[in-house]
Amino acid sequence: MIKTDILIIGAGPTGLFTVFEAGLLQLKCHLIDALPQAGGQCSEIYPKKPIYDIPGFPEVLAGDLVNNLMEQIKPFQPGFTLGERANTIEKLDDGTFIVTTNKGTKHHAPVVAIAGGLGSFEPRKPLIDNIKAFEDKGIEYFIKDPEMYRDKKVLIAGGGDSALDWSIFLADIASEVTLVHRRNEFRGALDSVEKVQNLKNLGKIKLVTPAEVVSVLGAEKLEGVVIQKSGDNAEEIIKEVDHFIPLFGLSPKLGPIGDWGLEIEKNAIKVDTFDYQTNIPGIYAIGDVNTYPGKLKLILCGFHEATLMCQSAYQRIYPEKKYVMKYTTVGGISGFDGSKKEAPKAVVKAID
Amino acid sequence: MSDIKIKITDREGIVHEVDAPTDMNMNLMEIVRSYELAPEGTIGICGGMAMCASCQCYVASDHELPPMSDDEDAMLAEAFNVKDNSRLGCQIHMTEDLEGLEVELAPES
């Protein structure tokens, strides 16, 4: 059981900054995120895109913003449960919560802050009738353990970076890699496109374009797929494969959080703007996942919400204590790792 | 500059005739959101960067639309339910030339 003061669901910019504000109050944080890395949308969808409305940053790349936040919160030693989705929440008699992920990891905290953005990112599944029947029986939407593809026949579908990168990676592991894409053109880092071209020339990757997997075949497990080739050489190809990996990107879904008994409006969680608490005391919602009159889904608003939320969380955890806000310039930052940052003291010296 | 009238068929098949301002730097995805013709969180997820295809629509009228950027083209190559007349709403800016535009929202994916 992972124990912490504030359990943050969602490791996007708002969730990450919560660690900093909580840290100033000497509260420890742990974050859960369905993605394998921190940063939320900023890392997953648009790491190379600039943002212009972060105060104090005339321009910052989304990926750099995440790196900066990770650096900023480092002294407060946040814990991470990545690649797992928060599934269920249980309120104990003492008012604390246990949140369990889809993989069974349990987290115990007196305060839960949902900073879930638009929801957890789920793979976008191709529209093939019986695809569900073969999930984890030859069809995988994520590659968790590349070793499971050793000496297997693998077919990857998709035209983005992940389809390219995994084709390259698996070319050395699998006995056969086929890459299917609806276009002849790929959208990915130039370097990856060139690598795939080389591997294709060497016969290590079979490229089938423009084409689409239209059905999947097999009895107990996946045995093959039907590829519909379009364009001038339109034909249907039946291809024997052990694994089919569709990589069509991710799309966010509110998911299980929607069933936690929270008041939901327009796919977002309703909160009180006094402290961004939900209708369940002790559960807060901050950033893009919440809604209130006048709500704007901006990173900078998420930062503000996180800051006020932490004050309320502090009062909930220590109802008997009185806290007076201190500027970081005055109080400095005392990390849980023993580090200390503070403003240099002025030199007092007489001038002769 | 004035408003133009456009016809948007939502995902339930209901046709809405709405006024779209041409002087507010708005795109079709934002028009759909401003009239709440699709639930929040199911359209415009990436905010209009041509990076999620949640605003995919089928253009039913024969208006001349701005050409597709490489980003839009590549995104549509990976989206589902794509037809020959598919476009991303976020890449269609409201201009007076689009008076009478008719579009249908693609299914949520």
Summarize pLDDT for A63-101 with one digit per residue, the tens: 999 999 999 999 999 999 999 999 999 999 999 999 999
B68 touches chain A (CB under 8 A): no
A41 touches chain B (CB under 8 A): yes
Chain A residues touching residue B46 (CB < 8 angstroms): 41, 45-46
pLDDT digit string (tens) for chain B, length 109 residues: 589 999 999 999 999 999 999 999 999 999 999 999 999 888 998 889 888 899 999 999 999 999 999 889 988 988 999 999 999 999 999 999 999 999 999 998 7
- A198: pLDDT strictly greater than 90: yes
**What rounded mean pLDDT belongs to chain A?**
94
Interchain pair B77, A158: CB under 8 A: no
Interchain pair A248, B40: CB under 8 A: no
CA distance B56 to chain A (A): 14
- Out of B49, B52, B78, whose CB is closest to A159? B78
**Is the ipTM, as predicted for this complex, more than 0.90?**
no
Cβ neighbours for A81, distance < 8 A, ≥ 6 positions apart: A2, A30, A31, A32, A33, A101, A105, A107
Chain A residues touching residue B78 (CB < 8 angstroms): 158-160, 182, 187, 248-249
- Out of A126, A248, A266, whose CB is closest to B40? A266
- Tokens at residue A64, please? 């750099």
Question: Which A residues in the span 180-199 are in contact with B, Cβ-Cβ below 8 Å?
Answer: 181-183, 185, 187
Question: Which B residues in the span 6-35 are in contact with A, Cβ-Cβ below 8 Å?
Answer: none
Helices A299-317 and A13-24 pack at an angle, to 10 degrees, of 40
Q: A268-289: b or e for each residue (b if 16 or more CB lie within 10 Å)?
A: bbbbeeebbbbebebbbbbbbb
Q: What is the pTM of this model?
A: 0.83
